[in-house]
Structure formats: C-alpha cells, structure tokens
Structure 1
C-alpha cells in the first residue's frame, strides 16, 4: 500500500505513452544552453553544500532539553502530530520518496517525444532538484525546530539527542518528492498539451507527495506545517524551473544593464527588466 501512489503515477504516464508517430522529431518546448545552465546548476550545488555544512554545525539537544519539552508549546495547528513515532511509517516514506526521485523522471522516457529530448530533460530535472535542495538545506541549516518525536517517549533517547532532531522545518522528503512528481507532470504537459491522460498525470503527481507527507507525520519526523511548506516549495520548483526554460516565453521580455545619476547626485546601477504585454 505504501507504493500505491507511486504505482498510480506510473500507470498514468504509461497510459499516456502510447504509440506515437516517430517519423519526425518533435521540437522541444524548452530552450537550454550549457554555458548558462551548467554554471547555474553548479552554483545551486555549491549552495546545497554550504547548507549541509550548516546543518552539521547545529547544536544537538540534551536529555535535559528533551525533558523540558511540552506538547502544549506546539501551535494548535500542529499539536496533533507531537509525540508521534513510527519506524514503519519512516520506512514507507523513504520508499515513496526515494522511489519517486527515480520513477517519476524515468517514466517520462516512455514518451517518444520526450525520449528524443531526454538529455535536455534530464539536465532540467537535475537543475530543478538542485534548486529545491539548495533552499531546503539552507533553511534547515539556519532554522532549528524540534521534530515531533522529541515530544513523546516512544523514540530512543539517542535519536532525540541527535542533531537531526532539530531538523523539522521544513519537510525535505515531501519537498523533493513534490519536485520530482510535479516536474514529471509539467514536462509531460509541455510535450503533450492536449493529452487526455493529463488529469491522471497531474492527479498522481499531487497524491504521491501527499502520501509522503502523511507518513512523515506518522513517523514523527515533521509537523503538518513543515509538510505544507515542503509540498508547496517542491511543487513550485517542479513547475517553475521548466517554465523558465520554455521557448517563446521570452518574447517581449528583455533584461539590460542600466546606470545613471539620480536627482540627488547619487549614482546607481542595476538591471532593467521589461515585458511587452
């Protein structure tokens, strides 16, 4: 049952990947340039590395700190999760999350038009995941929020006194899963805008990270608000990054450097962004 959502996404994309004409290679809806996108991806990877370093430098809890924790200090919106702990739920969330990171983009290769441009799609997927990861690691590295299991007595003390016990905000599993599934749905839509399978693809894309979020709460890893933020961020990155690479979206858009002196005699400089409406 823990893989039901992933299988749903698989079935949706398989349904959409029926026989198609291959006589002519369809144009890609995306525009990418190695000289631009490679440095961006490397930069995002570097930011992720800094975030991981900050996470490792965080101060862990002591047993005395854990003893002072009170569920009533948790906002009412999240309180129902405080004290949860389940290793089986954690395992289920791991399977769903890590499986989706491979399955979701992998299924895109079943579509002949996407398969013909899969190198470009894979590069976009990497950049999209790195964007999510950079935001995630930097946030977790700078924000300390105790995980729900620290408010209960079921989790081993060793877990509560580990640095990971302060990494509740925000839900990384949910964020990365949403990035993978919504990216797959967005790419499928851009290559097949009139496909009758679209409602199933988007529906499956929404269900998988929601299932991960549920198991992360059951496992006592994240509060509801942590998962909402993770879900929203992941879905946004999965859609926005490919959209920023769409061909034709730059029509009427220009970015030019500008500088000058204002009425007070102070010089200024920057970029001027204009969009033709």
Structure 2
C-alpha cells in the first residue's frame, strides 16, 4: 500500500488533464470530471496518505515483556477464533489476490469499447477512489494500535513480532483496497451498461474476491474478523460512492458533483452540487 500511496500524486496529475479532455470529447460518458476540482481533491487525499504513513513510522512495536503478556482472553469473542493463527502461504495468497485486483479491475474496464473511449477519465476516477480508501486506511493504522492476531500465538520471526507493523491490525488494508477496486469496476460497468444481463456476474465477482482476501488475511494471522468487516465495508462504499458523486444528471435524474471556489468576499468554499433533471 505504501507503493500505491507514493505513486498516487504523480499518476493522478498526469492523467487529470487527459480526463478533462476526454470528458469534453465524448458525450456518452455517464461521468463528469473537472481538473480544477478533481486534481486538488486527489492531491489532498495524497497528502492525507502521506501524513498517515508518517504516523505509522512514529509507532513502536512490542517489547518481549509486552508480547509475553498478550492473552487470547483479552480479544473480543467475535475475533478470538483468529487469535494465534499464522500462515505464510495464506499471506502470499492474499497478496496475490489484492495486488492482482488493483491491476486487473481497471484493466478489464479497458476491454469495453465504450469505456475505452473515456479511459483517461475512468483512470482518474479510479485513482480518486483508491486514494479515498487509502487515506482512510493510513489514517486508521497511523493512529490506532491493534495487535495482529499472530502475536497471540508463538509463530512468526522475532523481527515480525517486534515490528511496528504488527500494531496495524485495524483495519484490514488488503481487504479494503481489493473491495475498492472490484466494486469500482462493477459500479462503472453498471453505469455504462445499466440493465446488462452480465450485472449479476459482475457484482458477484466484485463481492467474492475481497471476501477471499479477507479469509486469507485471517488465516495468515494479519487481521481479525472485525478488521476485515470494516475494511470490506469501507472499500465497497468508496468503490460505489466516488463514481456516483461524479455522475451526470439525466440517467438517474440526479447527480452530485464536488465543487469549490472563492466567493465575492474572497472566502474559499467547497461542497456538493446537486443537479436534478426536470
């Protein structure tokens, strides 16, 4: 996730100009993007990501005495069945599914001819959506100490067990980012092809892949059930809501567009523009 955060700003700015031009050329896109609005939003989200990562670096791992004092009985009953689990194979599987989905989800959208003609705009929306989920994730792990499940067992290297990263259990970043990518792809497909016969399959795949990631993250001893539930919810919500906020009025009768500017008194403002077709 650090790699995604570090590349976020460069990619978003370079694509921002292209997205605006693409939106102007193509009248059939269901979305509206504006460089003057979306670029600052993405930059701001990137700054939040950077600060969250900085906060993570300020955390400290557990000492041997603190590790020895950990007890499964201190874990809420809902999560207790995960405490003590550890599997390198499960971690590899979760990495493969998560990082693969980040590339595959937008890649599949490029195969659609209608979306391909507006692909610059789609990519900017994808970056903005991923940046939203990532900002929430880094803010959470940078400020919340929750010990990973494997610390309640005996497995894992000494370096892993004493690392500051071992305090980053809440919430599940792999699950959140995967859900963001898959639900974004499903939402965009739906907006371009409402009523398509393929929608049940598309939405089903969007739901199953992050659920599989969540399962492997628990088996790996990286996150508890509640960490994954929160991550799944945040990711799915971001994947759906951010594209929805950029929809044009007409197809559903109402659209919400982020706006910002300076009024006649010189004061800056920001908010949502609600547009409804009569």
Gapped regions of structure 1 (runs ≥ 5):
1-24, 259-269
Moved over 4 A (4+): 253-258, 270-277
**Over residues 200-242 of structure 1, what are the superposed CA-to-partner deviations in whole Å (9 max), with x where a residue is unaligned?**
0000000000000000000000000000000000000000000
Alignment of 1:45-60 (within 5 A): 45-60=46-61
**Aligned Cα root-mean-square deviation (Å):** 2.5
Indicate the structure (1 or 2) with the bigger Cα radius of gyration.
1
User: Structure 2 CA distance, aligned partners of 1:47 and 1:165?
Assistant: 22
Equivalent residue, structure 1, for 2:34: 33
Alignment of 1:58-207 (within 5 A): 58-207=59-208
C-alpha displacement at 1:157, in angstroms? 2.1
Closer, same or farther: CA 95–273 of 1 in aligned 2, 3 Å: closer
User: Structure 2 CA distance, aligned partners of 1:56 and 1:271?
Assistant: 32
Closer, same or farther: CA 56–276 of 1 in aligned 2, 3 Å: closer
Closer, same or farther: CA 272–91 of 1 in aligned 2, 3 Å: closer
**1:26/1:113 contact within 8 Å kept:** no
User: Structure 2 CA distance, aligned partners of 1:250 and 1:241?
Assistant: 12
User: Structure 2 CA distance, aligned partners of 1:176 and 1:276?
Assistant: 30
User: Structure 1 CA distance, aligned partners of 2:104 and 2:27?
Assistant: 24
Could you tell me the TM-score, scaled by structure 1's length?
0.83
Gapped regions of structure 2 (runs ≥ 5):
1-25, 264-268
User: Structure 2 CA distance, aligned partners of 1:229 and 1:58?
Assistant: 22
Could you tell me the TM-score, scaled by structure 2's length?
0.82
C-alpha displacement at 1:255, in angstroms? 9.5
**Over residues 53-94 of structure 1, what are the superposed CA-to-partner deviations in whole Å (9 max), with x where a residue is unaligned?**
000100211111100000010000000000000000000000
The alignment covers a number of residue pairs equal to: 244
User: Structure 2 CA distance, aligned partners of 1:63 and 1:130?
Assistant: 36
User: Structure 2 CA distance, aligned partners of 1:199 and 1:143?
Assistant: 37
**1:132/1:175 contact within 8 Å kept:** yes
